[in-house]
Copies of this chain bind each other. A is one copy, B any other.
Amino acid sequence: MTEAKSPTALPGAAAELRHQSAHFPDGLALDCGAVLAPLDVAFRTYGALNAARSNAVLVCHALTGDQYLAERHPVTGRGGWWEAIVGPGKPIDTDRFFVICSNVLGGCMGTTGPREEMPGEGRPWGTDFPSVTIRDMVRAQKKLVGHLGIARLLAVVGGSMGGMQVLEWAATFPEMVFAAAPIATAPHHSAQNIAFDEVGRAAIHSDPDWRGGRYWEEPGLVPAKGLSVARMVAHITYLSEQALTRKFGRRLRGASALTFLEDVFEVESYLRHQGSTFVHRFDANSYLTITRAMDYFDLAAEHGGDLAAAFRGTQTRFFVASFSSDWLFPTEESRTLVRALNQAAANVSFVEITSDKGHDAFLLDEPEFHAALGGFLRGAADKLGV
């Protein structure tokens, strides 16, 4: 385990960030055929590993998340992205569990990705970074888990793209996963989701500051406008229509009557703010790499078109959760997953949480969801005698 300094300049405070990181000189063989070597996996842990090394819970983050799960984020200064879920006495109870979260392969918070140095080139990988898959991300996490001396994870938990990783873990390394909680996710990315991702990528590609992916040639330059538009469109898909309406309705900004200015509706300035803050913490080439990985994800296709085959003979216990107003990963896709798990005779419980908060609900204060996830993990731990 080493402390690695990010080799390239991040805007603002991140320039001096040092991430807790594991270094693997032999690297990682990828689905695309390339070998990434060396491999660094940046991560954070919370709680203590017990003597039997049996209480480890791996949390997998979503597209724009990172390893700063349950603590102040070093770039944004905001709280951890799953502080509602992870902490002492919380559903993922750090008094009982040893919680691990690593930055995904291809990410931009210390794990090997487009912003890190391309070996022997003295410059970032940029668009020369190979295409990665969700399964590649999971293979990198497996190296970290081995590095930490853990033979089996009590649980792997994650929402959205994190849930895709949970499914890959259970399908690819079933003997290492006692319990799996894929949340607000799907066994493949839908045509509509691919389409929205493509809009985001087109916006980045269209920004002249992207420079064919070589924006890092000019210190401090990022394709801010394109990345901001990508974030804006993605952000809409994270919220339900009801949530947007409740938050903003058609409220006007500082105007009691209709004026004919730009940025007249509150929802517009909110989205612009979401876009402009995002570019200070996320790398555009990482965004391209990771959205591609999501789009490639198709667990059934990896198993001859038979989703149930991905889980045949599994001993893993599953907890599947969806949210009623999530239109990015609708409940129907969780039902497809549950049907396949049932076909594979897996131990599975499924809950659709009634919520009007959309896809984002998995990150928010949803007591019913928290109680169900907490209960599932306690049950798994009790079963294992943790």
- A15 contacts chain B at the CB level, 8 A cutoff: no
Q: Assembly of this chain: how many copies?
A: 2
Contact B271 A199 (CB under 8 A): yes
Q: Which of A97-105, A160-168, A226-234 contacts B (4 or more CB under 8 A)?
A: A226-234
Interface positions of A from 205 to 257, Cβ below 8 Å from B: 206-208, 225-226, 228-229, 232-233, 236, 239, 241, 244-245, 247-250
Contact A190 B268 (CB under 8 A): no
Instruction: Tell me which residues across on chain B come within 8 A of A18, comparing CB atoms.
Output: none
1/0 per position for A175-205, CB-CB distance to B under 8 A?
0000000000000111110111011001100
Q: List chain A positions with a Cβ less than 8 A from chain B.
A: 32, 130-131, 188-192, 194-196, 198-199, 202-203, 206-208, 225-226, 228-229, 232-233, 236, 239, 241, 244-245, 247-250, 258, 260, 264-265, 267-268, 271-272, 275, 295-296, 298, 301, 327, 330
Contact A190 B271 (CB under 8 A): no
Instruction: Tell me which residues across on chain B come within 8 A of A196, comparing CB atoms.
Output: 233, 236
Contact A295 B265 (CB under 8 A): yes
Distance of A272 Cα from B202 Cα, bound (Å):
8
Across the interface, name the chain B residue whose C-beta is closest to A33: B260
Across the interface, name the chain B residue whose C-beta is closest to A298: B250
Distance of A139 Cα from B130 Cα, bound (Å):
57
Contact A194 B265 (CB under 8 A): yes
Instruction: Tell me which residues across on chain B come within 8 A of A225, comparing CB atoms.
Output: 202, 206
Contact A195 B131 (CB under 8 A): no
Contact B194 A268 (CB under 8 A): yes
Q: Tell me the smallest distance from the CB of A219 to a CB of chain B, in Å.
A: 21
Q: Tell me the smallest distance from the CB of A122 to a CB of chain B, in Å.
A: 25
Given contacts A226-B206, A229-B199, contact A191 B271 (CB under 8 A): no
Distance of A281 Cα from B33 Cα, bound (Å):
43
Distance of A236 Cα from B202 Cα, bound (Å):
14
Instruction: Tell me which residues across on chain B come within 8 A of A202, comparing CB atoms.
Output: 225, 228-229, 232, 271-272, 275
Instruction: Tell me which residues across on chain B come within 8 A of A296, comparing CB atoms.
Output: 258
CB contact between A199 and one of B131, B190, B236 (< 8 Å): that residue: B236
Distance of A268 Cα from B301 Cα, bound (Å):
19
Contact B260 A130 (CB under 8 A): yes
Given contacts A194-B267, A195-B267, A265-B194, contact A228 B250 (CB under 8 A): no
Contact A267 B206 (CB under 8 A): no
Instruction: Tell me which residues across on chain B come within 8 A of A267, comparing CB atoms.
Output: 191, 194-195, 198
Across the interface, name the chain B residue whose C-beta is closest to A132: B260
Given contacts A207-B206, A250-B188, contact A198 B295 (CB under 8 A): no
Instruction: Tell me which residues across on chain B come within 8 A of A207, comparing CB atoms.
Output: 206
Q: Tell me the smallest distance from the CB of A135 to a CB of chain B, in Å.
A: 11
Contact A191 B248 (CB under 8 A): yes
Q: Tell me the smallest distance from the CB of A172 to a CB of chain B, in Å.
A: 16
A–B complex contacts, Cβ < 8 Å, 15 sampled: A189-B250, A190-B244, A191-B241, A191-B245, A194-B267, A195-B236, A196-B236, A202-B271, A203-B206, A206-B207, A206-B225, A241-B330, A250-B298, A264-B295, A327-B327
Contact A195 B250 (CB under 8 A): no
Contact A229 B241 (CB under 8 A): no
CB contact between A206 and one of B190, B229, B271 (< 8 Å): that residue: B229
Specify which of A191, A206, A241, A265 lies most central, judged by the most chain B CB atoms within 10 Å of its CB: A191
Contact B198 A260 (CB under 8 A): no
Contact B226 A192 (CB under 8 A): no
Contacts A32-B260, A206-B229, A258-B296 known; list 10 others, CB within 8 Å: A131-B260, A190-B241, A191-B241, A191-B250, A198-B271, A199-B232, A199-B236, A203-B229, A206-B225, A241-B330
